[in-house]
């Protein structure tokens, strides 16, 4: 054991350091791997009740995500990208150059201005609320399966297939309706239509079942 003051080597019977004269019993550093003797019987040592760190939680989530089948990962990526584009589309111009939009009249009681975004049209807020609710159902699917494992299959069907398919179909329908307006439409409905296609693709990929792994014979 070295001296804690001058790092000189000490023998087992030394009470004082032969180099600096420090008392060994007073300068011996405590071993970090020995639990504190102050803890009472049945009482956890300090720090034992601390939860996992953010890095550990992130690593566990990443490991659980990577353990999923490839079709679920692809469906999750398509649905996430489609949902993000759907929300972004409401912040883009929806009314065309003639001030036409679905609902005709704006929320202020007058026709929307040319290039107005979705929230200045009569149908903008209802469409946004429906989109946000369906995306919330998709996002809460995993947590709902963990809370209700008996309904995991039903919840997965609703969150991964039914909700994205319904939202994607509605988004494509709205985009096609805007494309029929005179003088064209803004970029918002076009982005919403693209988001709808991604959501539909994600729901179709989620329908695919992962191929079973070939069984390997274990040696006797």
Cα distance between residue 100 and residue 95, in whole Å = 5
- The pLDDT tens digits of the residues spanning 46-94 come to 555 556 777 877 677 667 667 777 888 888 899 999 999 999 999 988 8
pLDDT of amino acid 22? 64
Residues 93/189, Cβ–Cβ less than 8 Å: no
Report residue 110's pLDDT band, with 50, 70 and 90 as the boundaries: low
CA distances from 34 to 7, 39, 45 (A): 22, 12, 11
* The model scores a pTM over 0.75: no
Task: Name residues whose C-beta falls within 8 Å of residue 138's C-beta, 6 or more positions apart in sequence.
Answer: 79, 83, 159, 160, 163, 164
Cα distance between residue 187 and residue 89, in whole Å = 8
Residues 127/90, Cβ–Cβ less than 8 Å: yes
Residues 5/24, Cβ–Cβ less than 8 Å: no
3-state secondary structure of 182: coil
**Residue 156 confidence (pLDDT) above 80:** yes
């Amino acid at each position: 054991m070295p001296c804690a003051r001058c790092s000189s080597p000490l023998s087992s019977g030394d009470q004082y350091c032969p180099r600096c004269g420090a008392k060994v019993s007073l300068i011996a550093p405590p071993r970090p791997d020995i639990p504190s003797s102050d803890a009472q019987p049945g009482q956890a040592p300090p720090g034992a009740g601390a939860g996992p760190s953010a890095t550990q939680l992130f690593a566990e989530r990443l490991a659980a995500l990577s353990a999923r089948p490839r079709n679920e990962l692809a469906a999750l990526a398509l649905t996430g990208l489609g949902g993000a584009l759907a929300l972004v589309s409401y912040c883009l111009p929806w009314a065309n150059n003639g001030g036409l939009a679905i609902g005709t009249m704006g929320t202020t009681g007058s026709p929307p201005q040319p290039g107005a975004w979705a929230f200045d049209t009569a149908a903008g807020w209802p469409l946004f609320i429906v989109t946000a609710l369906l995306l919330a159902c998709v996002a809460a699917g995993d947590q709902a399966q963990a809370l209700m494992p008996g309904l995991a299959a039903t919840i997965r069907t609703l969150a991964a297939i039914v909700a994205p398919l319904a939202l994607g179909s509605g988004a494509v329908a709205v985009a096609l309706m805007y494309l029929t307006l005179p003088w064209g439409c803004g970029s918002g409905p076009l982005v919403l239509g693209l988001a709808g296609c991604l959501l539909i693709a994600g729901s179709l990929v989620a329908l695919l079942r992962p191929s079973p792994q070939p069984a390997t014979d274990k040696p006797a």
